[in-house]
Structure 1
Amino acid sequence: MAPFAMRVDRAAADPVTQVASYPMDPGAWQLGPHVDWIPETSEPLRFARYEGMPDGAMTVSPGIAVSRQARFSSGTIDFDIKPLAYDDTGIIFRRHGEDAGEMVYLRANPDCPAADDCIQYAPITHQRMQWDTYSNYQGQAPINPAGWNHVHLVVAGEKLTVTVNHAADPTLVVPRLQGTTTEGGIAFKGPAIYANLVIRPGPASALPDVHEGVPAADTVMTWLAATPSALPVDRPVGAADIPASRSWHAIAAEQTGLVNLSRNFNVRRLSVGWLKTTITAGTAMHRVLRIGWARQITVFLNGKAVFAGDNPYRPEDRRLSPNGRLEADNASVPIALRQGANDIVLAVGNTWLGADGHIKPTAYGWGAEARLEELRQ
């Protein structure tokens, strides 16, 4: 299948304020630097001219290609992509160097479009690409895993829709972008071939019908956080590690209840993040604490550890549902609340086991969420 060619005149000096197509040639793109989630590569970007690609095509091996000129805030982005592997191949927009941006990518699974992870949105903050904490922003997509695909993004302020291969309805809807940037550059991640990049700036109010859902009942939305501490190397996290009372400060939960430690703390070492909430019970009662986390967690109730768990991505047979991602159903913990105030503290580790077998701080998501439910008989 040939790519879906889309030709408009190149922009003048300021591509932010008018429609622009960006040529796929060495003068317009450069190989981006390696970070933990972007493979290091010595393979250069390759450029070619083909029928149906008036501005050329660019092959990106594992790594990223960074536009030397393109800038984007709100509007539309169109491009064609031919994935070269089952990987996270796609676009990073509103990019601020390696540190921050918004990413939409395809997983060219031979089972697409039936697989529920063919397309995903993930924010990038502090060089962490947080695919594993946003499983609510992935889904099925009409992807041709071995051929060309057309991707159409509409970005309006904090809202995003993505349509793949001219589908009648958006393939992916993101009611609120979770990154920290509102404007920035453009990059493509390989391994894939890219062509026909067209950017049309537009208003930040172009998607009025995209709405956020409401959090699940009994979602814990009020949290305090303390500065992450070094992960103990020779023992489990214990009650003695809980920060002093003066160390805590308010931290915002997202609409789903997720507290995103990757966004709030720029940590480069193996660490424990700390979250606390207080539940006031009119009488002694039993409840179930449903928790989701990435990547390790210890739950303390009134200073006593009541649960410890791991949610690893490797080895594969130890992944918690859904497939090693953070969701509130990762674990259910029965707890006994006393009458009056009850402090629940979550100690959340950021340890990641790499494909090379080495332990390191995660380059992906780090955080937790919780719901407090009645105990069902």
Structure 2
Amino acid sequence: MRIFIVLICFSQLSFSQKIPMDATHWEHDSTTVEFVMHRGVLAAKNKPNKYYQIFLKDHIFTNGTIEFDVELIGQGFPGINFRMSEDRKNGDNFYIRSFGETTPYIRTTLQYAAIMDGMSIWDLSDEYQAGATIYKEGWNHIKLIVNGKQMKAYVNDMEKPALIVPELEGWQNSGGISLSGNVIYANLELKPNITENLSPEAGYISAHNDTRYLRNWEVTEPINFPFGKDIEFPLPSMYGKINSSNLPDSTTIWKPIKAESRAIVNLSREYGLYTEQDGRRLAWLRTSITSTSDQERTLNLGFSDEVWVFINGAILLVDKNYFGTPSQKEPKGRCTIINTSIKLPLKEGENEIMIGLANYFYGWGLIARLDKMDGITFKNEK
């Protein structure tokens, strides 16, 4: 008689969990949301003209599949936070922009962005947008597959992902879940560890292979820089020189900072949320470019929200990228490499690039790339 012994590793088992939409399972504010029967199922529904956020109780999500239905009954940014920190200030966010008619060709319909210190960095995350077919009436079915650093998001079409995120940028490997918006949610189902062969390793990002990006910088601590205040720097004049200056000097303390995978220098991650409502802050960045000869190169620059660019101590560019104003850069105030371009007069030898970067609105960052690398080396590049 043979005895077969089967060993089961419970840590590797996966169980589908259907989460009821009721007050027992969700932390909520009863003045903004109610739990009702809707289209034959339990649902969370906003009270008239109210935005709400509900937090799933006693659950930590790490990897797996998240599915839910959402009906869009108001304008806004309905979505899900996952891997949220205990203080709910950090995590990953997927949402829909619900502002009327959409088509699969409008790439701003869906967005992924990390949440850092309570602030979405959506305006540093232009690559993580996509179009989708969204129904104005009835349920829209959402399916997120999350494994390690990657995510695939399906919207209504479960055969083809609408949005692929090759590298999630939140700080957390696991954490809580919340739903928010002025919408109706139902049929939340969690499938821990069901990842449909999605690799947990970060996927391909095109900037990785591009040697033209300036990735190695130094940065100062930020200072409060209220509106109405400006940077003073030396200028020529009819009477000699204007020498007043509040630029960094020999007493300034610098520390190294590297661009992230998408080549963005992310000061939101480094310094967190601004300290007061509509507060404006300023930090300085510097790096160097070494040229084998005197030459002119084109510097493509993306930034949020204001820059003062200096080369070898001389002012080269002052510019603004204020979202929602005529000064906003394409694409619509987001920080991307196509925001602006400037001619960079390089001398033979080492050239210092110094940039004042101010921010008041959501993500705080900068991305910089030369047009070509003939006779060029960058700081700390080998």
Scaled by the length of structure 1, the TM-score of the pair is 0.83
SS of 2:57 mapped into structure 1? strand
CA RMSD in angstroms comes to 2.4
Alignment counterpart, residue 226 of structure 1, candidates 220, 223, 232: 220
Q: Residue type of the partner of 1:99?
A: K
Match of 1:354 in 2: none
Q: Give matches, 1:243-262, under 5 Å.
A: 243-244=248-249, 247-262=253-268
- Identical-residue share of aligned pairs (%): 30
Match of 1:161 in 2: 152
TM-aligned CA distance change 1:203 to 1:150, over 3 Å? closer
Alignment counterpart, residue 297 of structure 1, candidates 298, 307, 319: 307
Q: 1:84 aligned to 2:93?
A: no
SS of 1:117 mapped into structure 2? coil
TM-aligned CA distance change 1:45 to 1:292, over 3 Å? same
TM-aligned CA distance change 1:233 to 1:164, over 3 Å? closer
SS of 1:136 mapped into structure 2? helix
Match of 1:59 in 2: 45
CA deviations over 1:199-241 (Å, ceiling 9, x no partner): 1111789413972223145111212222112215544224444
Which segments of 5 or more consecutive residues in structure 1 lack a partner in the other structure?
Answer: 1-13, 33-41, 352-361
Q: CA deviation at 1:82?
A: 0.9
Q: CA deviation at 1:148?
A: 1.3
**The structure with more radius of gyration:** 2
Q: CA deviation at 1:76?
A: 0.7
Match of 2:236 in 1: none
Q: 4+ residue stretches of structure 1 with deviation over 3 A?
A: 203-206, 232-235, 238-246
1-side partners of 2:339 and 2:77: how far apart?
24
2-side partners of 1:203 and 1:23: how far apart?
20
Q: Residue type of the partner of 1:336?
A: P
Alignment counterpart, residue 88 of structure 2, candidates 98, 106, 118: 98
Q: 1:278 aligned to 2:285?
A: no
Q: 1:31 aligned to 2:37?
A: no
Alignment counterpart, residue 142 of structure 2, candidates 146, 151, 155: 151
CA deviations over 1:247-273 (Å, ceiling 9, x no partner): 112212122211111111124142112
Maintained 8 Å contact 1:79/1:152: yes
Number of residue pairs aligned between Structure 1 and Structure 2: 338
SS of 1:72 mapped into structure 2? coil
Q: Residue type of the partner of 2:36?
A: A
Alignment counterpart, residue 198 of structure 2, candidates 182, 194, 207: 207
SS of 1:141 mapped into structure 2? coil
2-side partners of 1:59 and 1:244: how far apart?
56
Maintained 8 Å contact 1:214/1:255: no
TM-aligned CA distance change 1:285 to 1:103, over 3 Å? same
Maintained 8 Å contact 1:112/1:145: no
Maintained 8 Å contact 2:32/2:51: no
CA deviations over 1:336-358 (Å, ceiling 9, x no partner): 0111111111211112xxxxxxx
TM-aligned CA distance change 1:249 to 1:298, over 3 Å? same
TM-aligned CA distance change 1:201 to 1:244, over 3 Å? farther
TM-aligned CA distance change 1:144 to 1:272, over 3 Å? same
Q: 1:20 aligned to 2:8?
A: no
Match of 2:59 in 1: 70
Alignment counterpart, residue 309 of structure 1, candidates 319, 331, 335: 319
Q: CA deviation at 1:160?
A: 0.5
Q: Residue type of the partner of 1:105?
A: Y
Q: Residue type of the partner of 1:324?
A: G
Maintained 8 Å contact 2:74/2:182: yes
2-side partners of 1:242 and 1:81: how far apart?
51
CA deviations over 1:125-174 (Å, ceiling 9, x no partner): 01111111111000111211333101000100111110111332111000
Maintained 8 Å contact 1:119/1:141: yes
Q: CA deviation at 1:189?
A: 1.3
Scaled by the length of structure 2, the TM-score of the pair is 0.82
1-side partners of 2:333 and 2:219: how far apart?
24
Maintained 8 Å contact 2:14/2:194: no
Alignment counterpart, residue 328 of structure 1, candidates 328, 332, 337: 337
Maintained 8 Å contact 1:77/1:199: yes
2-side partners of 1:85 and 1:287: how far apart?
48
2-side partners of 1:29 and 1:232: how far apart?
40
Between 112-121 and 175-184, the greater mean CA deviation after superposition:
112-121
TM-aligned CA distance change 1:144 to 1:241, over 3 Å? farther
1-side partners of 2:356 and 2:219: how far apart?
10
Match of 1:349 in 2: 358
Maintained 8 Å contact 2:102/2:134: no
SS of 2:269 mapped into structure 1? helix
SS of 1:69 mapped into structure 2? coil
2-side partners of 1:207 and 1:244: how far apart?
49
Match of 2:238 in 1: none
Alignment counterpart, residue 170 of structure 1, candidates 150, 161, 176: 161
SS of 2:60 mapped into structure 1? strand
